[in-house]
Amino acid sequence: MVAGLRAKGIRDEKVLAAMRKVPRHEFVEGHAQALAYRDTELPIESGQTIPSPYVTALMMEQLRLRPGMKVLEVGTDSGYHTALLVEITNRAYAVEPRLEVASAAQKRLKRLGYQGIASKVGDWWKGWPEHGPYDAIVVTGASDCYPPELLDQLKDGGRLVIPIGEGPVQTLNCVSKQGGNRARIEASITIRISSVLTRPERP
C-alpha cells in the first residue's frame, strides 16, 4: 500500500510512516478486511465508507502535520484517520455526527491502544470550539460549503482540508487562515469520496 502511495506522488515521510504503522484492516470488518490494503474505499457502520488510502494520505499530506500540533478531525468514520493523526501529532480531537459510527470508532481505538484522542458526538459543522484554536482541521466527508465555524477555530496560519462537492467527484481544498477570518486556497485537487456530511438549511 505504501509503495503504491509513493508511486502516486505522496512524499511526506511522516504520513507514509504512519500509514505503514496503523493496521487498516483493524478498522473494517468482515470481507472488507481482505481488501484493507488495496487503494479503495471500504464499508463501515451505518452504510458509511472510509476513503481510499490515497485520498486519506492526500488529506494528511495537505495538513503539513508535525509532532505536538493540535488537530481537529471532523467525521471520525472508522477511527482510521484519527489513529493516523495521533501517530504524527500525539493528540487529536474528533467530532462525529452519527452516534453508532462514533461509538464503534471509540471502542476500536481503545481496543487497539490509541491514546491522546478526545472525541464527541456533535454537529460536524460546529467543530469543537472549546478546545480551539487548532493548528489544523480535516473534514473527512464531502460538504457543499466551507462552514465558517471551522475557520473560526483555526489559528492564524492554520490549515483546513475539506472535500467540496456532492457528486461522485469532489475538489479537495486546502485553505490557510490569513489573519482574522481571511482564507487563502493553497491547493485544489480532484478526488472521489463517497462519504457526505450534510447540514440542515438555515432558517
pLDDT at 203: 38
The torsion angles phi and psi of 101, rounded to 5 degrees, stand at -65, -45
Question: Does residue 106 contact residue 94 with C-beta atoms inside 8 Å?
Answer: no
Per residue in 110-153, pLDDT (tens digit) is: 999 999 999 999 999 899 999 999 999 999 988 888 888 999 99
Alpha carbons within 13 angstroms on the beta-carbon side of residue 130 total: 7
- Cα separation, 195 vs 88, in Å, equals 24
Instruction: Report residue 194 as a C-alpha cell.
Output: 463517497
Positive or negative: CA dihedral 121, 126, 131, 134: positive
Domains in the chain (CATH in brackets) are 2-191 (3.40.50.150)
- Cα separation, 29 vs 47, in Å, equals 13
Whether pLDDT at 201 is above 70:
no
Task: Compute the mean pLDDT over every residue in the chain, rounded to the nearest whole number.
Answer: 92
Query: What average pLDDT does this structure show over 168-194?
Result: 88
Query: What average pLDDT does this structure show over 14-24?
Result: 98
Whether pLDDT at 197 is above 90:
no
Per residue in 26-78, pLDDT (tens digit) is: 999 899 999 999 999 998 877 788 999 999 999 999 999 999 999 999 999 89
Query: What average pLDDT does this structure show over 155-160?
Result: 95
- Cα separation, 147 vs 140, in Å, equals 14
- Cα separation, 116 vs 98, in Å, equals 21
Model confidence at 200, pLDDT cuts 50, 70, 90, reads low
pLDDT at 202: 46
